Structure 1
């Protein structure tokens, strides 16, 4: 259980989500004065806690009481991945690839959900990501082996979601048609060449006629390998 109040948790979640009183009020159909009362402590709770939690991407149980349900395996009790981070931490959430890719069901993906979020100290985060904000960075777990040697299956990959366009040669997460890829993109003459660092995979091209099928989700910044050793 946390010792802070509903007002503290609400204010903390708003800060993490980057929402103002006005924007939160609009998203849940409340007046700004009602949100002010909640954040100032003039009101100790709200009948719209579930709607508030959904807008802030936190669990309603945490927002209401500071507690989390014991049964985390039940998706019906989950609105978000984790409660807001503690002060002084830099939390990177899982990239919701299906949402980022837009409507529809994608046939294949080179990623798998093995984590929900990773937290760093702010100092460590700056050394890894520079001055980028936590909201810009997301993490994914690679499943495919097409980039093996550079990015191996099981690696955590940190991406910048503000780079949703081709800004120069590099490794990107992108949608082509109904598939999601993590590949190296390189401009050659008038076409984007898609390269796999695993030489078992052939290169292919994206030209002007393919633009309606091609959408960049993020650019890869850093990878981290979960190197585990068992001693018993």
Structure 2
């Protein structure tokens, strides 16, 4: 059986004398939630995984495409046949806005075969790809709350209609952006949410972090 991040955490808990109850107290959750996460019955968001790793003293884990995992003592360097994508401890809002910590910890790496990566990521370098989680339902129909999105962070400017991760004011969003005359229209795929505009006077509050390439829940879905 392949090793998993849950097994690595459970082994570390034995070493440091951590129990599910004490871990739950650190995370401010129920012991039942910890039990579900560590058994694999429920899949926690990446920010929860980050908190679990930090609580038991694990700095970095590599999670491979087949679900197997390896604890790393030092940051992995790219090998010729490896394509490693960093998963960040960041959540972007597909809702009304999510205020994140300025700390952007790498909580794991996802490894792809180089040929698989060429097909999925259309030649984008691994250094320019980051994975973050989304929160909220305003993009429902395209992706759901808790999904992971693959962001091309080399796209720091508006480059045509598409789904972008961006900061406006102090909040981090994932939404569709579209230029209409002299404004940038911010659109949600969930029709229950109204569109809103960023005017020329407000453009200095907009910072684009990247353009969404793929999202992943159980399946990878292409967005351009």
TM-score tier (shorter):
0.5 to 0.7
Matches within 5 A, 1:20-31: none
1:124 counterpart (116, 119, 124): 116
* Residue 94 (structure 1) aligned with residue 94 (structure 2): no
Who is 2:99 aligned against? Answer: 108
Who is 1:212 aligned against? Answer: 204
In structure 2, the CA distance between the partners of 1:223 and 1:77, relative to structure 1 (3 Å rule), is: closer
Counterparts of 2:186 and 2:123, CA distance in 1: 29
2:214 counterpart (213, 217, 222): 222
| Stretch of structure 1 that moved more, 79-88 or 144-153 | 79-88
* Residue 78 (structure 1) aligned with residue 59 (structure 2): yes
State the TM-score, normalizing by the size of structure 1.
Answer: 0.56
Matches within 5 A, 1:16-165: 72-74=53-55, 78=59, 83-84=75-76, 87=79, 88-95=81-88, 97=90, 108=99, 116-165=108-157
- Whether the 8 Å CA contact 1:171–1:219 is kept in 2: the answer is yes
- Whether the 8 Å CA contact 2:130–2:150 is kept in 1: the answer is yes
Counterparts of 2:60 and 2:108, CA distance in 1: 13
- Whether the 8 Å CA contact 2:90–2:133 is kept in 1: the answer is no
Query: Residue 226 of structure 1: CA displacement?
Result: 3.0
SS in 1 for 2:179: strand
* Residue 176 (structure 1) aligned with residue 176 (structure 2): no
Q: Aligned residue pairs: how many?
A: 148
- Whether the 8 Å CA contact 1:146–1:198 is kept in 2: the answer is yes
- Whether the 8 Å CA contact 2:177–2:187 is kept in 1: the answer is yes
Counterparts of 1:154 and 1:226, CA distance in 2: 11
- Whether the 8 Å CA contact 2:61–2:108 is kept in 1: the answer is no
Counterparts of 2:128 and 2:203, CA distance in 1: 25
Larger Cα Rg: Structure 1 or Structure 2? 1
Q: How well do the aligned residues superpose, as a CA RMSD in angstroms? A: 3.1
Query: Residue 207 of structure 1: CA displacement?
Result: 1.0
Where does the alignment leave 5 or more consecutive residues of structure 1 unmatched? 1-70, 99-105, 228-232
Counterparts of 2:127 and 2:212, CA distance in 1: 15
Counterparts of 2:153 and 2:54, CA distance in 1: 28
State the TM-score, normalizing by the size of structure 2.
Answer: 0.58
SS in 1 for 2:126: coil
